[in-house]
Amino acid sequence: MNQHALSTTTRLLHWLVGLTMLSLITIGFYMVNLEAWALYPTHKALGVLALLLILPRAIHRVRQGFPKPVADMSVTMQKLSHSAHWLLLLGTLFMPISGMLYSGFGGYGIDIFGLTLVHENIVNDEVVAINEHIFIVAKNAHSLIGYALSALIVAHIGAAVKHHVIDKDATLNRMLGKL
């Protein structure tokens, strides 16, 4: 086996989390900017499921460490890459957590496709925050993390394309299981 090859678990978790986060961020921007409120239940349910994927990925990554680069890179690029990977991991972890705190403490409840985890807090036919301070902090964090994570994902994809097209190294092929 190639010393740079990644395990099936690593590749599977990478792609599942990556595609799930791209979907959630896309739905999030769409529903907020176009006021497509009917998408909220789906967005929240997928966010909870995403956390269930992200937790094993984060545990796996902490236990296994990050893979060594396939190609030679300067120390600066290695540090930048390592930092970006940590930020991606933390962003994917804190994005659904902040969303759940936002929804739960905002009084909106948390459901997974009809299964209620946290009930809505309705008073006189109005949704009332359970804890206004946590709700506001979580709402702002969810928004900021969304923008930061979007930028990191674009940079991550751009780096993968650069490795494949310009550097012509095996970085992308490794994540595709072609090593």
Say how far apart CA 17 and CA 145 lie, in whole Å: 16
1, part of any domain: no
17, part of any domain: yes
96, part of any domain: yes
Q: Which residues, 6+ apart, have CB-to-CB distance to 163 below 8 Å?
A: 70, 71, 169, 171, 172
Domain that holds residue 58: 8-175
2, part of any domain: no
3, part of any domain: no
What's the farthest any 2 CA atoms get from each other in the chain?
64
- 44 — pLDDT class (breaks 50, 70, 90): very high
> Quick one: which of 7, 39, 2, 35 has its CA closest to 23?
39
Residue 4: both structure tokens together:
């740079």
CB 57 within 8 A of CB 175: no
Residue 155: both structure tokens together:
């940079």
55, part of any domain: yes
165, part of any domain: yes
120, part of any domain: yes
Return the pLDDT at 111: 92
Say how far apart CA 22 and CA 10 lie, in whole Å: 18
- 167 — pLDDT class (breaks 50, 70, 90): confident
How many structural domains is the chain composed of? 1
Name residue 1's amino acid. M
Q: What is the mean pLDDT of the chain?
A: 92
Return the pLDDT at 4: 74
Whole-model pTM: value is 0.90
